[in-house]
Amino acid sequence: MEYEDRYLHLNEAIDLDSHVICRYKVKTDLKMTTAAAAIATEQSTGTWTKLSTLNDDNFLKRSGKVIAIDGNVTSIAFPVEDFSLDIGGVPQILSIIAGNLFGLDALQGVRLEDVIFPKCMLKEFKGPKFGVDGLRSMLKRPTKPLVGTIVKPKIGLTPKETADYVYEAGMGGLTNGKDDETLSNQKFCPLEDRVVAIAEALDRVRSDSGHVMIHAINVSTNGHQILEVAERAQELGASQLMVDVLTCGFGAIQVLAEDPSIKLPIHVHRTMHGAMTRNPEHGINMKVFATLSRMVGGDALHVGTFGVGKMKGEAHEDLANKDVCLTNDLPYKRVMPVASGGVQPGMIKKLVEMAGMDLQIQAGGGVSGHPRGVRGGARAMSQAVDAAAADIPLDVYAKDHVELAEALKKWGLA
Ligand code: CAP
Ligand code: MG
């Protein structure tokens, strides 16, 4: 490879305040130094051949530097000057740290495992407006995990049926409801009608029981429309917004989080993430997406289900995602981690033991599949969260709580 040695800085001290540090796991037949240099080259100043246009000054100031190689893992430091945050933002960050390198023929596989941004870049982002504490105070739920549902079936219900579901869920004690990721503005359930009907249902929950619940409306859409759609949903009474971060892009979250007219928390869904995060040898670790989601202002983020459920990934990776949401190492409000996907009441104690109390636990099928319907399913979920928060085994708690007992009978204990 051209200039390979010039990209290698293996025994040099690096100024961490002026570089973005990325860790890549690499699968290659080449020497690791060659493979690592190929990434640093492609993602900064080089290409496949020597360039007449690359001068020494530019080379030294803008090149990615291979700063460590440990087995098949390499760390590469990209100078902050390579990044353009005023115009460019997260899309441009991703084009450097997670761009062309995935297609390099020299590598049979490469996975971006982690990224660390210097303070000077982090301070250009504002992070969540609400986060864990904001959501907890909205919901008047200071310590226990939040407990929610995804309205199921995913699509097909009318606005009234959706609102009836939400009412039942709220009366059963759930704190959070949400649209499913494939529900948008279909003719059978127009967004505006849905927002109005759900807002009315949530008001009724509050007046009938005193209980506070919010519901995230899926505003995922084209870039040129998202702010307008979110503003309209807010105007009509939406209490939370939901955005699919990978299909819409990180800019979609940022525009909603930073626009002064939007005063609602943002629930960040990650549909499509499995295409990038699940192969241990190629792709992008969810932790990277969690870091970026927090930077751009997501208030709650799907992090996985810690080794249980229909979409379970590696529990240790889910825990790392959760830690990114909550760590004080990032200069922003903490993001509420969300455990979702095939969840049912019998899993809740285990989820809380693994992830702690700062967690939103939600279930679609695990609520509306309950033998007593949505209200019964919501009660079973709430009871399981209460038991877990009090550190009482679920089968013991179920002796005095019939909905939980029926859920455990149907789905078992994790
Ligand atoms: C869960 C869910 C969520 C997934 C997302 C679904 O429904 O609504 O989208 O949890 O997974 O459509 O599958 P169920 P992740 O509770 O009925 O399974 O958080 O892993 O991205
Ligand atoms: Mg879903």
Instruction: Give distance in angstroms: CA of 131 to centre of ligand 2.
Output: 21
CA of 80 to the centre of ligand 2 (A): 37
Q: Which of 96, 122, 148 represents a domain boundary (last residue)?
A: 122
Q: Tell whether 89 and 151 lie within a shared domain.
A: no
Q: Look over the chain and give the mean of its residue pLDDT values, rounded to a whole number.
A: 97
Residue nearest to atom 5 of ligand 1 (CA): 341
Rounded to a whole number, what is the distance in angstroms from the first to the last CA of the chain? 52
pLDDT > 90? residue 4 = no
CATH number at 331 reads 3.20.20.110
Is the CB of 150 inside a 6 Å radius of any atom of ligand 1?
yes
| Nearest ligand to the C-alpha atom of residue 342 | 1
pLDDT in tens, 9-43: 998 999 999 999 999 999 999 999 999 999 999 99
Residue 310 CB–ligand 1 contact under 6 Å: yes
Please count the helices (runs of H) and the strands (runs of E) in the chain.
Answer: 18, 13
- Encode pLDDT of 334-362 as tens digits: 999 999 999 999 999 999 999 999 999 99
Mode of pairing for the β-strands spanning 109-116 and 19-27: antiparallel
Catalytic option among 9, 152, 273, 322 = 152
Structural domain count, the chain: 2
340 lines ligand 1 (CB under 6 A): yes
283 lies in the same domain as 303: yes
9-18's contacts with Cβ under 8 Å and 24+ in sequence apart are 9/65, 9/66, 9/67, 9/77, 10/66, 10/67, 10/68, 10/69, 12/65, 12/67, 14/65, 14/67, 14/77, 16/116, 16/118, 17/118, 17/119, 17/120, 18/79, 18/80, 18/118, 18/120
- Is residue 272 within 8 Å of 248, Cβ to Cβ? no
Q: Which atom of ligand 1 is nearest to the CA of 304?
A: 20
Same domain as 27, residue 84: yes
What is the rounded average pLDDT of the residues 373-392? 98
Q: Has residue 253 got a pLDDT over 70?
A: yes
> From the CB of 251, is ligand 1 less than 6 Å away?
no
Q: What does the pLDDT look like over 22-31, one tens digit per residue?
A: 999 999 999 9
Tell me, using a 6 A CB cutoff, whether residue 366 lines ligand 1: yes
Q: Which atom of ligand 1 is nearest to the CA of 182?
A: 12
- Looking from the CA of residue 338, the nearest atom of ligand 1 is 19
Together in a domain, 175 and 71: no
> Is the distance from the beta carbon of residue 333 to the nearest atom of ligand 1 less than 6 Å?
no
Catalytic status, residue 160: no
Binding site membership of 304 for ligand 1 (Cβ less than 6 Å): yes
pLDDT at residue 5, as a whole number: 87
Enclosing H/E stretch for 350: helix 348-355
Please check whether residues 188 and 291 belong to one and the same domain. yes
Q: Give residue 159's domain range.
A: 131-411
46 lies in the same domain as 88: yes
Out of 122, 143, 174, pick the residue that ends a domain: 122
| Ligand 1 contact via 190 beta carbon (within 6 Å) | no
**152 catalytic, yes or no?**
yes
Q: Which of 19, 269, 302, 401 is catalytic?
A: 269
Task: Tell me which residue has its CA closest to atom 21 in ligand 1.
Answer: 270
Confidence of residue 130 (pLDDT cuts 50, 70, 90): very high
pLDDT digits (tens, 9 = 90+) for 199-238: 999 999 999 999 999 999 999 999 999 999 999 999 999 9
**Short-list 75, 67, 74, 55, CA closest to 3:** 55
Q: Do 135 and 114 reside in the same domain of the chain?
A: no
Instruction: Please tell me the residue having the least CA distance from ligand 1 atom 13.
Output: 341
Q: Do 161 and 201 belong to one domain?
A: yes
- pLDDT attached to residue 376: 98
Ligand nearest to the backbone CA of 272: 1
Q: Rounded to whole angstroms, what are the CA distances from 154 to 18, 57, 181, 379, 408?
A: 46, 56, 8, 21, 24
Mutate to test the pocket of ligand 1, among 178, 270, 340 (most ligand atoms within 8 A of CB): 340
- What's the confidence (pLDDT) of residue 1? 64
State the pLDDT at residue 414.
92
Q: What is the C-alpha separation between 365 and 172, in angstroms, rounded?
A: 15
- Residue 70 tokens, joined: 């440990």
